[in-house]
């Protein structure tokens, strides 16, 4: 086991009091305890819907603390699931019945939207895309391009009309999700601008408990969002230059350069130590940029023991 693997959380297998089940997601391990969820942000990293073989130091702490920061900053817009963060890698909150769709919202023609546009299509998830745009151009107004939430494999694009017609979400509930999504993105955009950043696109997930819709999971983290640097954006766009961005996109680009896009038959490339450490530093940089706070590197020598102790302490009250 290398030094990196010794100071990261690649998987957890706890057995907490009152635990009924555990779900290991791409990045988070979710423990179901009575009417609570204990969500542990591991240091796993995924791209192209595949979990990469090596964990990233401090990534879980970064994601957990950014999500907590933005959940606190948006609780006036809609209720959210978070109750406490008893450990840098842990969030505890309401157990909700999740809607099986991700509300993806895009302010710019970037990433998947650009790849779709470049292929010649002018519609994404039932939303018409204007003619004459180039990569990274801003949309006239943000668009919502939902995706089905897949347990395994790729999330699939789906339109609002299909979601309602198939009974995945009722028309009444979808109207609330749409309203919350646009309001959250507007707040995230404003907060990003105050930090010299552009919130390019992101996704939100929602659930229901006792008839109430809650914002669940993470928000505005580098795993769920893409950011550009605001300074110089217009000039780079006018000159057709690549935008300076802070997101997982550089990891995807590294994988593409090494022949991997998650397609059948492709072999996942091995990430060398130097690149793993670079990814870690990029995550920490993004934490400090988006929150305006100094990142405090928590001791990672006995990380699993620390997490278990802190969660048990919280549950025991």
Cα 183 to Cα 200: distance, rounded to the nearest angstrom? 15
Beta strands in the chain (DSSP E): 19-24, 28-33, 36-41, 46-47, 50-51, 82-87, 90-94, 97-98, 101-108, 123-124, 127-128, 138-144, 147-148, 156-157, 197-209, 212-216, 225-229, 245-246
Contact 103, 137 (CB under 8 A): no
Q: Is the pLDDT of residue 11 over 90?
A: yes
The model's pLDDT over 91-150, given as tens digits with 9 standing for 90+, comes to 999 999 999 999 999 999 999 999 999 999 999 999 999 999 999 999 999 999 999 986
The model's pLDDT over 195-215, given as tens digits with 9 standing for 90+, comes to 999 999 999 999 999 999 999
Q: What is the pLDDT of residue 317?
A: 84
Q: What is the pLDDT of residue 242?
A: 92
Name the percent of the chain in helix, strand, coil, to the closest 5: 35, 25, 40
CA angle (312, 284, 311) in 5-degree steps: 5
Query: Which residue in the block uniquely carries the two structure tokens 């990569």?
Result: 135
Its pTM surpasses 0.85: yes
**What mean pLDDT is predicted for residues 159-169?**
97
> Which residues are 31's β-sheet partners?
22, 38
Contact 200, 228 (CB under 8 A): yes
Q: What is the pLDDT of residue 211?
A: 96
What value does the mean pLDDT of the chain take? 94
> Which residues are 208's β-sheet partners?
97, 213
Cα 92 to Cα 89: distance, rounded to the nearest angstrom? 10
Domains of the chain, start order:
3-96+267-315 (3.30.200.20), 98-246 (3.30.470.20)
How many other CB atoms are there within 10 angstroms of residue 200's CB atom? 25
């Amino acid at each position: 086991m290398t030094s990196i693997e010794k100071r990261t959380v690649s998987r957890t297998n706890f057995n907490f009091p009152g635990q009924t089940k555990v779900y290991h997601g791409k990045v988070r391990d979710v423990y179901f305890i009575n009417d609570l969820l204990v969500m542990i942000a591991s240091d796993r990293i995924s791209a192209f819907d595949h979990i990469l073989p090596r964990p990233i130091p401090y990534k879980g702490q970064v994601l957990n603390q950014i999500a907590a920061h933005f959940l606190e900053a948006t609780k006036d817009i809609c209720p959210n699931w978070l109750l406490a963060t008893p450990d840098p890698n842990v969030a505890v909150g309401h157990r909700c019945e999740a809607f099986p769709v991700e509300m993806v919202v895009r302010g710019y023609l970037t990433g998947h939207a650009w790849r779709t546009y470049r292929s010649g299509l002018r519609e994404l998830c039932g939303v018409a895309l204007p003619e004459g745009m180039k990569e990274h151009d801003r949309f006239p107004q943000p668009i919502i391009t939902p995706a089905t939430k897949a347990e395994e494999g790729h999330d699939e694009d789906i339109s609002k009309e299909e979601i309602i017609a198939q009974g995945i979400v009722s028309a009444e509930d979808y109207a609330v999700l749409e309203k919350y999504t646009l309001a959250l993105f507007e707040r995230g955009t404003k907060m990003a601008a105050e930090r010299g950043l552009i919130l390019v696109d992101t996704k939100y997930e929602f659930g229901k408990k006792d008839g109430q819709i809650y914002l669940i999971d993470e928000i505005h983290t580098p795993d769920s969002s893409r950011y550009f640097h605001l300074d110089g954006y217009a000039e780079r766009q006018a000159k057709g230059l690549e935008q300076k961005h802070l997101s997982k996109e550089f990891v995807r680009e590294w994988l593409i350069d090494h022949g991997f896009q998650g397609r059948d038959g492709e072999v996942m490339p091995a990430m060398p130590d130097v690149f793993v450490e670079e990814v870690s530093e990029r995550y920490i940089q993004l934490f400090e940029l988006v929150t305006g706070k100094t990142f405090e590197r928590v001791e990672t020598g006995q990380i699993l023991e620390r997490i278990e102790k802190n969660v048990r302490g919280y549950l025991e009250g």
